[in-house]
Chain A
Amino acid sequence: METNPTSAEELKTIRKIMEESTKFLSLSGLSGVFPGIFAIAGALAAWLLIFRKNGISTDQYFNTAASTVMSFISWKMLIVALTVLSLSLATAFYFSVRKAKRTGVNFWTPVSRRMMINLFIPLVAGGIFALILIFHGHTGVIIPVLLIFYGLSLVNAGKFTYNEIFYLGILQIVTGLLCALFPAQGLLFWSLGFGVLHIVYGLFMYRKYEA
């Protein structure tokens, strides 16, 4: 059977092509580590510059529906959150584009487009929902909402990239639900979900696929 070695080889190539054409594999582990660090820095900044400085406890802020007195805090929190988000997105893109270049593949492919669409639909919906919650002064549920919607985005995008993203999504959802149970600890859960989980995940992925 002379054809056998080539048949085996052919099947291997076919499997590889099938995976490469459906999975976005340029996602870098470092795209997780840096956003994680930014998230923790953001939480610290919020704690030091907003709560301690104004002598307001997180319990007061997250547990009571914010009155107009509290709304200035919400705007400051929003600025911190948006800074963390934009820095995170920028570094996530940077490291993924770099990994794509390094492995010699294109960053912008039908698969990466599909992954982005699936990632951004729940993410944008969650972001808008959070803005509406701020507008109505429902401060206690904003962080849980962000964590849950982010988790759902990852679960959705996980079909088009590494499987681990799916599990990271599940953990973010769980963190968000726990946060909803203990709203006063919002900053802590924020650091746990967006911070610690990202860093642990990123290091794990970096060691597994890139180191």
Chain B
Amino acid sequence: MKDLISGLNKIFESRIRLGIMSVLMVNDSYDFNSLKEVLDVTDGNLASHLKALEDKGMIHTRKRFVGRKPNTSYSATEEGAVLFRQHLNALEELIKSQ
């Protein structure tokens, strides 16, 4: 049982963070507004979770200007991808063990 739990990662213990990582696992990069739409969350909420994931080194942030508008896009870091995959596997194991 201990082995199962060890894959679960505290960093991803939030629906929004799980959502962010899910999107970034299957897309090379995704911009803020599109993330907001797919996950159906508010600006502030999304921003704070993105910040948390970035601080832990799970995602990269890339800021640039598209015309005059600032555009921020995100992508998963290698470490983030590995840890998230472990987290998913642990979740699956947990369900199977039921």
- Contact between B30 and A110 (Cβ–Cβ < 8 Å)? yes
B91 within 8 A of A: yes
Are A1 and B98 CB-contacts (below 8 A) given A10-B18, A106-B37?
Answer: yes
Q: A15: shortest Cβ distance to chain B, in Å?
A: 8
Q: B3: shortest Cβ distance to chain A, in Å?
A: 15
Q: B25: shortest Cβ distance to chain A, in Å?
A: 7
Are A11 and B88 CB-contacts (below 8 A) given A3-B94, A17-B22, A18-B25?
Answer: yes
B18 contact set on A, CB distance < 8 A: 10, 13-14
- Contact between B98 and A110 (Cβ–Cβ < 8 Å)? no
A17 contact set on B, CB distance < 8 A: 19, 22-23, 38-39
Are A7 and B38 CB-contacts (below 8 A) given A14-B18, A14-B22, A18-B22?
Answer: no
A105 contact set on B, CB distance < 8 A: 37
A20 within 8 A of B: yes
A25-42: which residues lie under 8 A (CB-CB) from chain B?
none
Residue of B nearest to A3 (CB): B94
- Contact between B27 and A110 (Cβ–Cβ < 8 Å)? yes
- Contact between B38 and A22 (Cβ–Cβ < 8 Å)? no
- Complex Cα distance, B79 from A180, in Å, reads 52
Most interface-central of A18, A21, A22 (chain B CB within 10 A): A21
Q: Which of A1, A10, A18, A110 contacts B31 (CB 8 A)?
A: A110
- Complex Cα distance, B38 from A9, in Å, reads 17
Q: A-side binding surface: helix, strand, loop or mixed?
A: helix
- Size class of the B contact interface (CB-based, 8 Å): 20 to 34
B23 contact set on A, CB distance < 8 A: 17-18, 21
Q: B-side binding surface: helix, strand, loop or mixed?
A: helix
A4 within 8 A of B: yes
Q: A30: shortest Cβ distance to chain B, in Å?
A: 24
A10 contact set on B, CB distance < 8 A: 15, 18, 91
Are A21 and B27 CB-contacts (below 8 A) given A10-B15, A14-B22?
Answer: yes
Q: A149: shortest Cβ distance to chain B, in Å?
A: 27
Q: Which of B27, B30, B95 contacts A8 (CB 8 A)?
A: B95
Chain A, 102-131, contact with B by CB distance < 8 Å: what is the 0/1 string?
000110011000000000000000000000
- Complex Cα distance, B39 from A189, in Å, reads 45
- Complex Cα distance, B37 from A11, in Å, reads 20
Q: B17: shortest Cβ distance to chain A, in Å?
A: 11
Q: A14-B18, A18-B22, A21-B22 are in contact. List 15 more A-B contacts (CB 8 A).
A: A4-B98, A13-B15, A14-B19, A17-B19, A17-B23, A17-B38, A17-B39, A18-B23, A21-B23, A21-B27, A22-B26, A105-B37, A109-B37, A110-B27, A110-B30
Q: List 5 A-B contacts (CB under 8 A).
A: A7-B94, A11-B92, A17-B22, A21-B27, A109-B34
The 9 closest A-B pairs by CB, nearest first: A17-B22, A21-B23, A14-B22, A18-B26, A22-B26, A7-B91, A4-B98, A21-B38, A7-B94
